[in-house]
Amino acid sequence: MAQFVKTDSGKRLTRLITNGYMDNIVKAQQGAFVVWIAIIVPAEIFAGFDNVLYCVPESHSALCAGKGVGVSLCEKAENLGYSMDLCSYARIDMGCHFNQGADSPAGGLPKPDLLVSNNNNCTLLAKWFDVYHREWDIPHFILDIPFCYESQKQRDMEYIVSQFQDLIQTVEKLSGQKFNPEKMAQAWENSVEANKHWRRFLAAAKNKPSGITAFDSFVQMAPTLTMRGTPELAEHYRFLADETEARVEQGIVPAPNEKYRLLWDNIAPWHQLRKMSSRLGALDANIISASYTYCLGSREGSLDLLDLESLSPLEGMARLQNFSICPHGLQLRGRAMKQAIEEMDIDGVVFASNRSCKVYSLMQMDQQRYVQEELGVPTVMIDVDHADERKYSEETAFVRMEALLESIDEARR
């Protein structure tokens, strides 16, 4: 693995994220209406208002874990009586915001005027946001999104759109602001454009050796959560894709001696990104792709990009309510992973059983069996927690991953 050097897009990302968090704090102080949302909630809706901003507690918790303060914030929540078995994102968030933003590298999030969660991507989120609803007496709007065993049905799309319309009316009533559908439509166009460039960036993984690592995609996905609908997001992903393609053409790749091409299944281990990437690189192994990031904007059970341009903005947003892995049944997850393995010539799959995300991890043993027995691809299961480092053993994980590499060698003989 080449020595870590931050690319121009990496430096750009740092500025975007830092400025985004700071701008939200300033705008809230100046009287903006603040909405906290779950990651799948369509942020483009809020662009239809003149002075509404949104924040994403999950993304902020990931930032805290990546900056090394995840454990201390988890402990603050545990000291308030919240169980260590709860999702570490929730514990970090409550440990931070029940202590006036303590230890947050971004200064915490501005206090919300409205909470918006859903029930298809993370079943805990509705309960997590309910804590703030009770403690701070803040309205909580919950989107009811049908689970997904196949492509989204028309009636499900219509049901979701009707809830988006209710959400718009709720924000109008609470904020005293008038909704402008044209501004929302422009934000939607920005998001669709951004997603096209995101897919160009991910396509660099098909190169041999891969033009990216999954760790690059973990980090670079952050603004699609916190800056959705903005022209800055579309421009950043255009810059990222252009830069990555140029580097591949120049032979500048993260693992030039790549011998093992691996796939990661689950949320990123935010506290281990550079360490894990470097240690795998020393073994000539590269985790080149991840279900956590290849699902963005994809059809259910596929890596193929959804056709969103033929839909109205609200219909397109409703269609995207199924894009993440968590709402998918086992067959959809298996089909998408099969396509990823074939298109990217994957040698082995690392299933990360995540102590904090049960809904992502629940089907992994069955999926692991399918990949290993039906597809004939070596696999391994390791134990992780995406944000609480106390629940991860580096040495145990690497003993298992090194055994996976040995299995790949054996399969090649």
Q: Are residues 217 and 240 in the same domain?
A: yes
Q: Are residues 288 and 156 in the same domain?
A: no
Q: Are residues 249 and 211 in the same domain?
A: yes
Within a domain: residue 2? no
Q: Are residues 120 and 223 in the same domain?
A: no
Q: Are strands 140-143 and 52-55 parallel, antiparallel or unpaired?
A: unpaired
Asked which of 129, 157, 180 is the last residue of a domain, the reply is 180
Cα separations in angstroms, 37 against 109, 197, 211: 12, 24, 33
Q: Are residues 129 and 201 in the same domain?
A: no
Q: Are residues 164 and 188 in the same domain?
A: no
pTM: 0.95
Q: Are residues 207 and 156 in the same domain?
A: no
C-beta separation of 287 from 262 below 8 A: yes
Within a domain: residue 3? no
Number of CB atoms found within 10 A of residue 302's CB: 17
**354 Cβ neighbours under 8 A, 6+ residues apart:** 266, 267, 360, 361, 384, 385, 386
SS (H, E, C) the chain: CCCCCCCHHHHHHHHHHHHHHHHHHHHHHCCCEEEEECCCCCHHHHHHCCCEEEECHHHHHHHHHHCCCHHHHHHHHHHCCCCCCCCHHHHHHHHHHCCCCCCCCCCCCCCCCEEEEECCCCHHHHHHHHHHHHHHCCCEEEECCCCECCCCCHHHHHHHHHHHHHHHHHHHHHHCCCCCHHHHHHHHHHHHHHHHHHHHHHHHHHCCCCCCCHHHHHHHCHHHHHCCCCHHHHHHHHHHHHHHHHHHHCCCCCCCCCCEEEEEECCCCHHHHHHHHHHHHCCCEEEEEEHHHHCCCECCCCCCECCCCCCCHHHHHHHHHHCCCCCECHHHHHHHHHHHHHHHCCCEEEEEEECCCHHHHCCHHHHHHHHHHHCCCCEEEEEECCCCHHHCCHHHHHHHHHHHHHHHHHHHC
Query: What is the distance between the alpha carbons of residues 91 and 106, in angstroms, rounded to a whole number?
Result: 17
Q: What is the domain-level CATH number for residue 385?
A: 3.40.50.11900
Q: What is the domain-level CATH number for residue 82?
A: 3.40.50.11890
Q: Tally the domains of the chain.
A: 2
Within a domain: residue 37? yes
Give tens-digit pLDDT for 60-99: 999 999 999 999 999 999 999 999 999 999 999 999 999 9
Q: Are residues 209 and 298 in the same domain?
A: yes
Cα separations in angstroms, 349 against 20, 163, 286, 369: 35, 38, 11, 11
Asked which of 180, 197, 226 is the last residue of a domain, the reply is 180
Q: Are residues 249 and 397 in the same domain?
A: yes
What is the predicted pLDDT for the residue at 359?
86
Within a domain: residue 327? yes
Give tens-digit pLDDT for 1-52: 445 678 999 999 999 999 999 999 999 999 999 999 999 999 999 999 999 9
Cα separations in angstroms, 45 against 140, 360, 382: 16, 27, 38
Residue count of the chain, please give it.
413
Biggest CA-to-CA distance, the chain:
69
Q: Are residues 216 and 116 in the same domain?
A: no
Range in 118-132, 212-226, 232-246, 374-388 the model is least confident about: 118-132
Q: Are residues 392 and 279 in the same domain?
A: yes
Q: What is the mean pLDDT of residues 301-307?
A: 85
What is the predicted pLDDT for the residue at 324?
74
Query: Prior bond to 313 cis, omega within 30?
Result: no
Query: What is the distance between the alpha carbons of residues 331 and 247, in angstroms, rounded to a whole number?
Result: 36
Within a domain: residue 1? no
What is the predicted pLDDT for the residue at 1?
43
Asked which of 151, 180, 209 is the last residue of a domain, the reply is 180
Tokens matching residue 374: 């039906």
* Residue span of the structural domain in which 47 resides: 8-180
Report the mean per-residue pLDDT for the chain: 94
Q: Are residues 168 and 202 in the same domain?
A: no
Give tens-digit pLDDT for 167-216: 999 999 999 999 999 999 999 999 999 999 999 999 999 999 999 999 99
Within a domain: residue 293? yes
Within a domain: residue 348? yes
